[in-house]
A and B are shown apart, each in its own frame.
Chain A
Amino acid sequence: MGQLRESLDVERRDFMKVGGVAALTAGIGGRTLVQETRSEEGDPPSETDEVKTICSHCAVGCGLKMVVENDALVGQEAWDDHPINQGGLCSKGASLSQTVNSERRLKEPMKKENGEWVRLDWDEAMAEVADELTRVREEYGPDSTMWMGSAKIGNEEAYMFRKLAAFYGTNNVDHQARICHSTTVAGLANTWGYGAMTQSVNDVANADANLIIGHNPAEAHPVMMRYVQQARKKGGTVIVAEPRFSKTAAHADTFARFRPGTDIAFINGLLYHIVYNLEAHDEAFLESRVYRWEEAKETIADYDLETVEDITWVPVEELKEIAETLVDAEVSTVQWSMGSTQHTVGTQNIRSYAILNLALGHTGQPGGGNNPVRGHDNVQGATDVCILSHNLPAYYGLGQGAWEHWSNVWDQTPSTSGSTSYEDMLERFESQELMEKNGLTVSRWFEGALDDDERKGELYQPEQVKALVVWGHSLNSISEMKRLKAAMENVEVVIGVDPFPGLHGSLPEREDGIILLPAATNHESRGSVTATNRSVQWRYQPVTPRHNSRRDFDILKDLADRLGFGEHFDYDDVEAVLREMNLGMRSIGMIGQTPERIKAHMENSHMFSAEDLKAEVTDSHELAGEYWGLPWPCWHEDHPGTPILYRDDVHPEEGGHDFRPTWGTEGPDGETLLRGSYEPEWWDGEIEGVPQYPLYTTVLPDPETPAAKTLPIEYALSEAHSVYDAAQALADEGYDIDPDEFAAFDNPQPDAPTGRGRARAYAWNLPDEVPVHREPVETPRPDLIDDYPNYDLQEDFYRLDLDNRGHQETFRDLVDEFPLIMTSGRQVEHQGGGYETRNTVGTANRSPMMYAEINPRVANEFALETGDWVWVHTEPGSMLVQAKVTERVNDEEVFLPFHWAGIFEGETYTDRYPDGTEPLVIGDSANIGTSVGYDVVTNMQATKATLCGLEPAAEDEIPSLSEKQQAYQRQRGLTR
């Protein structure tokens, strides 16, 4: 405590406020002293309360209860009847209260001045932040600020963040989804209309065969494993396809080890066997519901099993066995995470999984679909509100129509007092061109902030990035960290908002120009959060913000005010924000999830089934028919949600759905994009393929009732109306629409407003219309480059150049210097950049070492034992880590977790943290070394296939770790 005082400009703060005292006691358990309550919701002080919240680590969305005593967080209890986790947590969720009470939190606003951290009060700090952002905007233009926003704030806050960037006048706003599942969204949306997980984590219990590829749920989504295991108990088969024998592989029936970066070859090999050897693809399904399957089939012919074995490491017999398992299964699903997405061919990887699922005819049913399992607790929500540089909320894009829609919403919403218009918004931007131009991404923004270096290409915006706002986003999860660091040293100001000082505070070596604002955690705040299965949950607020932190909601309102557009952000409470979202986010049906309905679910969790997430109540009950969290699309205030996407054997008013004909009714070749007619059991007669209902994405209801049915939504769901009827009715109401365009669609039938289209096996708008294998930029198989080259130069791609092929050529013989494959991934104890978990006693203690997994035979060659320090050299940089000798990896590969920071290329930099906030455990950062390569559709970084070499460290190179960290390592048996 004394230490803290020295570095603070001591203005008497209430140190008896629970958070301050908790800082003392967190190290010995977290119990805090009694103090006065200061509850924002006006509740009277109480004895012990159990407050329901949702874990803030991963996207499974586990429920738990915080035990609160007089505004002190004193413990946790399991939320036993939560339908997703039934009380279960992992080491991260179980330690949440320790995170909130961590003594290493950023406690006050701070600024770096003349090399020292100086404390500010909020007013000073916010004034300086606003002044700097305004100055940069005036001097260089609004595109000179890069807004890195967050997957770790509530939906409402995420929405406000996106909106704020729009009012500031730039599309340089992006968040973790870019580096997580951006390729999933592009891959799936380009196949069948939406980019989201088609089912829920619970539903995988219904999969007769589950192919888990590029995903380690035992560590990334532990609670999901209960459902993976249930499927096996029911006789199902679990196949794990992974470069390493992960914890998940230990719970699989079949394990296929394949070379990092060869997913498409692997999947195409399976498809080859299914289609050409077994002829077991579902022709009827493909005929009536898929567009141009023939193209995919032709491409697959190039992937005979011997070729695939050569490319992927997977023996022919294993390929056959896996393919046969999938074919024999009644229903199968494919699930994945970063192992699949973080590649130059990420979008295509995901397309290949979708095509596999379609070829088997297993889509759109319980146990059958595609499950990209999202990462952070609210990355799904933040993606849906599109903190994305190529989109406005709910995926409307950046075209004039999108801006007109959102200007309309922002003008009409009763949740704020401001008025606006398209013209008003346009004036905030440098030009219409820039208003409609994809912005910089979190994965590569630094290119826009660097002066020339040997790698830099063109920058396609007027000025460089001069200001960086890092809001709840880690920096060690981004590749090219050396250039990222240089960029952070080059910009004029870095503004960081986070409960912890993180790398935005400590990474850049600079004397001034860093402002840190302490944010409250999700458990000192409240609002909605969207889990990976599209269910929307509500977090109640257990305690008030600790120390001098503030809720993101409050910081955003204040900032908007100081930037001059506060009237568009003067929400009374977070509920008002959600209502505005319900009004505007029509395209994905984020409509019916009103605050009241969501809270009703949370309060009645015991009524919901863990099997299908449905409320098990009598028909007359208010919640009858509803699915937990009203997974989107939820078309109106009485709609039950859509638990399984594209499921056509259910009435749309009960959650039924279909593929989206997003690109119209016909492809460029004239072939139909609408599904074939069918006669479902729930309907007396025929249901035809239909386009999206006209204007369903832009017609607004009375803004005071944002979840009421609009005309197109009503007509879509109605059994008595056709698309043509809707068009005519809209024309009668004065909307600019020509009903004749829809005259062909006059069959009265109930549909989701998204229509009934075909999934596209052939995506004419993508660089590869059908997925093909391409060697990674850094490949151990240069002999394959000519047959499977990476993508050629792309100019002006998210305002930068991308030259995968150029780099690949430069690195053709890299394997001679760096003979091992380096891949990266997660550990169960840590989340994302590790800012929280490396500052939490339970998780830091359990996992106190940054490591490289090295095969025993390789380790022997270097005389390395677990705990020994070893350099991992790569082309971009070198990391100094400790060895973990294990059979998980084979002798051609090395694995590094990416959660670590505090050491940079072997140099410890804990001295750059404000006093008292140095993390409990530190390590070097894997993303210093991950390869230079990005997905050509989304700019996702390629972190899974890099080349490296090992070198044992010399004695004098070994960085010093804190006593505590060393003790943890001894306790865990990692060192002696």
Chain B
Amino acid sequence: MSGTPRVIPNVEACIDCGGCEVACMRTWELPESSDRIEIVTHNEGEDGGRFNDGETSVPMPCFHCAEAPCIEVCPTDAVSRDDKGLVQLDEDKCIGCTYCAWACPFGAPQFPEEENSTGGAGTMDKCTLCVDRLDEGKEPACVSECATDALVFGTPEQISSEFRENRSEDIFSGGLDQVVFGDD
């Protein structure tokens, strides 16, 4: 898994401008109700700085976890790992049971059709790490258009020093780092 590229938030730099959210939605022509990447802001209006209970904005795409809970719980194997190590969805197999959303610690799986469908939640939708763009040698759209370089893209090896420097690892506390990065 060490070669799997990820998009990791640099919370020190995120200003909740929404550039990543819009870039993603626009690039993939997603329905308005889909939030493949979403910025979550904690402690709005509180002073103290990022790691002291102060206002913190965290852009959250899918982290394509090494020990992905969504893969583990999916009853139809709709969620699986591709040849890059990324966690991808086979839409045809998805039955809209939402187990993956329950299992994901980060809320990555989305159900944009939920309000319109009867009974089920509709097909799941989530961040693909812009795998089509990667094939063209481009960065994920969110990374490409982030106003303040608050999204860091690379393999754990490539980004590890920056990761530690901006204390991104702090957001993956309580065992979550194991989930996301496995033994790396």
Q: Bound state CA distance, A229 and B25, in angstroms?
A: 27
Known contacts A88-B19, A229-B12, A845-B32: A94-B26 contact under CB 8 Å: yes
Interface SS of chain B: loop
On whether the beta carbons of A888 and B45 are closer than 8 Å, the reply is yes
Q: Bound state CA distance, A225 and B19, in angstroms?
A: 13
B147 partner, pick from A97, A223, A250, A886, beta carbons under 8 A: A223
Residues of chain A lying within 8 A (CB to CB) of residue B134 = none
Q: Bound state CA distance, A260 and B46, in angstroms?
A: 20
Among B15, B33, B55, residue most surrounded by chain A Cβ atoms (within 10 Å):
B15
Residues of chain A lying within 8 A (CB to CB) of residue B16 = 218, 247, 828
B15 partner, pick from A225, A245, A841, A888, beta carbons under 8 A: A225
Stretch at the interface among A28-36, A467-475, A574-582, A721-729: A28-36
Asked if B149 is at the interface of the complex by the 8 Å CB criterion, the answer is yes
Q: Bound state CA distance, A967 and B145, in angstroms?
A: 27
Q: Which parts of A186-224 form the interface with B (CB within 8 Å)?
A: 218-219, 222-223
Known contacts A245-B47, A250-B55: A846-B18 contact under CB 8 Å: yes
Known contacts A226-B149, A842-B22: A968-B17 contact under CB 8 Å: no
On whether the beta carbons of A75 and B46 are closer than 8 Å, the reply is no
Among A87, A91, A255, residue most surrounded by chain B Cβ atoms (within 10 Å):
A91
Residues of chain B lying within 8 A (CB to CB) of residue A532 = none
Q: Bound state CA distance, A57 and B19, in angstroms?
A: 13
Q: Bound state CA distance, A29 and B24, in angstroms?
A: 11
Q: Which parts of B26-55 form the interface with A (CB within 8 Å)?
A: 26-27, 29-33, 35, 44-47, 54-55
On whether the beta carbons of A30 and B26 are closer than 8 Å, the reply is yes
Q: Shortest beta-carbon distance, A204 to chain B, in Å? A: 13
Nearest-neighbor residue (CB-CB) of A85 within chain B? B147
On whether the beta carbons of B148 and A250 are closer than 8 Å, the reply is no
Asked if B144 is at the interface of the complex by the 8 Å CB criterion, the answer is yes
On whether the beta carbons of A89 and B23 are closer than 8 Å, the reply is yes
Known contacts A94-B26, A98-B26, A229-B12: A88-B45 contact under CB 8 Å: no
Nearest-neighbor residue (CB-CB) of B34 within chain A? A971
Residues of chain B lying within 8 A (CB to CB) of residue A30 = 26, 29
Residues of chain B lying within 8 A (CB to CB) of residue A889 = 45
Known contacts A223-B148, A225-B147: A28-B22 contact under CB 8 Å: no
Q: Bound state CA distance, A219 and B41, in angstroms?
A: 14
A842 partner, pick from B26, B46, B147, beta carbons under 8 A: B26
Asked if A130 is at the interface of the complex by the 8 Å CB criterion, the answer is no
Q: Shortest beta-carbon distance, A309 to chain B, in Å? A: 19
Known contacts A88-B19, A229-B12, A845-B32: A78-B147 contact under CB 8 Å: no
Q: Which parts of A77-92 form the interface with B (CB within 8 Å)?
A: 77-78, 80, 85, 87-91
Q: Shortest beta-carbon distance, B167 to chain A, in Å? A: 13
Nearest-neighbor residue (CB-CB) of A27 within chain B? B32
Known contacts A76-B26, A226-B148: A94-B32 contact under CB 8 Å: no
On whether the beta carbons of A95 and B22 are closer than 8 Å, the reply is yes
In the complex, per-residue mask of B57-73: 1 if CB is within 8 Å of any chain A CB, else 0: 10000000000000000
In the complex, per-residue mask of A82-122: 1 if CB is within 8 Å of any chain B CB, else 0: 00010111110111011000000000000000000000000
* Interface range for A: 35 or more
Q: Shortest beta-carbon distance, B76 to chain A, in Å? A: 27
Asked if A887 is at the interface of the complex by the 8 Å CB criterion, the answer is yes
Asked if A662 is at the interface of the complex by the 8 Å CB criterion, the answer is no
Nearest-neighbor residue (CB-CB) of B13 within chain A? A229
Q: Bound state CA distance, A845 and B30, in angstroms?
A: 12
Known contacts A91-B21, A226-B147, A245-B46: A968-B29 contact under CB 8 Å: no
Asked if A251 is at the interface of the complex by the 8 Å CB criterion, the answer is yes
Among A85, A250, A843, A971, residue most surrounded by chain B Cβ atoms (within 10 Å):
A250
On whether the beta carbons of A846 and B47 are closer than 8 Å, the reply is no
Q: Which parts of B134-160 form the interface with A (CB within 8 Å)?
A: 144-149
Nearest-neighbor residue (CB-CB) of A968 within chain B? B32
Nearest-neighbor residue (CB-CB) of B139 within chain A? A78
Asked if B115 is at the interface of the complex by the 8 Å CB criterion, the answer is yes
Asked if A688 is at the interface of the complex by the 8 Å CB criterion, the answer is no
Q: Bound state CA distance, A93 and B19, in angstroms?
A: 8
Among B31, B32, B55, residue most surrounded by chain A Cβ atoms (within 10 Å):
B32
On whether the beta carbons of B145 and A89 are closer than 8 Å, the reply is yes
Asked if A249 is at the interface of the complex by the 8 Å CB criterion, the answer is yes
Q: Bound state CA distance, A87 and B143, in angstroms?
A: 9
Q: Shortest beta-carbon distance, B137 to chain A, in Å? A: 12
On whether the beta carbons of A842 and B25 are closer than 8 Å, the reply is yes
Q: Bound state CA distance, A223 and B148, in angstroms?
A: 6
On whether the beta carbons of A967 and B115 are closer than 8 Å, the reply is yes
Asked if A829 is at the interface of the complex by the 8 Å CB criterion, the answer is yes
On whether the beta carbons of B44 and A888 are closer than 8 Å, the reply is yes
Residues of chain B lying within 8 A (CB to CB) of residue A98 = 26
Q: Shortest beta-carbon distance, A246 to chain B, in Å? A: 9
Residues of chain A lying within 8 A (CB to CB) of residue B12 = 229
Q: Bound state CA distance, A248 and B147, in angstroms?
A: 14
On whether the beta carbons of B22 and A843 are closer than 8 Å, the reply is yes
Q: Bound state CA distance, A80 and B139, in angstroms?
A: 11
Residues of chain A lying within 8 A (CB to CB) of residue B25 = 841-842
On whether the beta carbons of B18 and A28 are closer than 8 Å, the reply is no
Known contacts A88-B147, A91-B18: A255-B47 contact under CB 8 Å: yes
Residues of chain B lying within 8 A (CB to CB) of residue A29 = 26, 29-30
Residues of chain B lying within 8 A (CB to CB) of residue A886 = 44-45
Q: Bound state CA distance, A360 and B173, in angstroms?
A: 45
Q: Bound state CA distance, A223 and B145, in angstroms?
A: 10
Known contacts A89-B19, A95-B26, A255-B47: A841-B32 contact under CB 8 Å: yes
Q: Which parts of B95-153 form the interface with A (CB within 8 Å)?
A: 115, 144-149
Q: Which parts of A845-896 form the interface with B (CB within 8 Å)?
A: 845-846, 886-889
Residues of chain B lying within 8 A (CB to CB) of residue A829 = 18
On whether the beta carbons of A94 and B145 are closer than 8 Å, the reply is yes
Residues of chain B lying within 8 A (CB to CB) of residue A94 = 18-19, 22-23, 26, 145
Q: Bound state CA distance, A841 and B30, in angstroms?
A: 11
On whether the beta carbons of B15 and A967 are closer than 8 Å, the reply is no
Q: Bound state CA distance, A208 and B30, in angstroms?
A: 43
Q: Bound state CA distance, A30 and B13, in angstroms?
A: 30
Q: Bound state CA distance, A887 and B55, in angstroms?
A: 10
Q: Shortest beta-carbon distance, A63 to chain B, in Å? A: 12
A887 partner, pick from B21, B33, B44, beta carbons under 8 A: B44
Q: Shortest beta-carbon distance, A837 to chain B, in Å? A: 11
Q: Bound state CA distance, A95 and B146, in angstroms?
A: 13
On whether the beta carbons of A222 and B31 are closer than 8 Å, the reply is no
On whether the beta carbons of A828 and B17 are closer than 8 Å, the reply is yes
Residues of chain A lying within 8 A (CB to CB) of residue B31 = 28
Residues of chain A lying within 8 A (CB to CB) of residue B32 = 841, 845, 968, 971
Q: Bound state CA distance, A217 and B25, in angstroms?
A: 24
Q: Shortest beta-carbon distance, A171 to chain B, in Å? A: 39
Q: Bound state CA distance, A88 and B145, in angstroms?
A: 4
Residues of chain A lying within 8 A (CB to CB) of residue B149 = 88, 226
Residues of chain B lying within 8 A (CB to CB) of residue A845 = 32
Q: Shortest beta-carbon distance, A917 to chain B, in Å? A: 19
Q: Shortest beta-carbon distance, B165 to chain A, in Å? A: 9
Q: Bound state CA distance, A88 and B151, in angstroms?
A: 11
Residues of chain A lying within 8 A (CB to CB) of residue B44 = 886-888
On whether the beta carbons of B46 and A887 are closer than 8 Å, the reply is yes
Residues of chain B lying within 8 A (CB to CB) of residue A846 = 18, 21-22
Known contacts A29-B30, A218-B15, A967-B33: A91-B148 contact under CB 8 Å: no
Q: Shortest beta-carbon distance, B53 to chain A, in Å? A: 12
Since A94-B19, A95-B22 are in contact, a sample of 18 more A-B pairs with Cβ atoms closer than 8 Å, ordered by chain A residue number, is A29-B26, A29-B30, A76-B26, A78-B144, A88-B145, A89-B19, A91-B17, A93-B145, A218-B15, A226-B148, A245-B47, A245-B55, A250-B55, A250-B57, A843-B18, A846-B22, A888-B45, A967-B33
21 A-B residue contacts at CB 8 Å?
Answer: A28-B29, A30-B29, A80-B144, A88-B19, A89-B145, A90-B17, A91-B17, A93-B19, A95-B22, A222-B15, A225-B13, A245-B55, A250-B56, A250-B57, A828-B16, A828-B17, A828-B18, A842-B25, A846-B21, A887-B46, A971-B32
Q: Which 4 A-B pairs have the closest CB atoms?
A: A29-B29, A91-B18, A887-B45, A250-B55
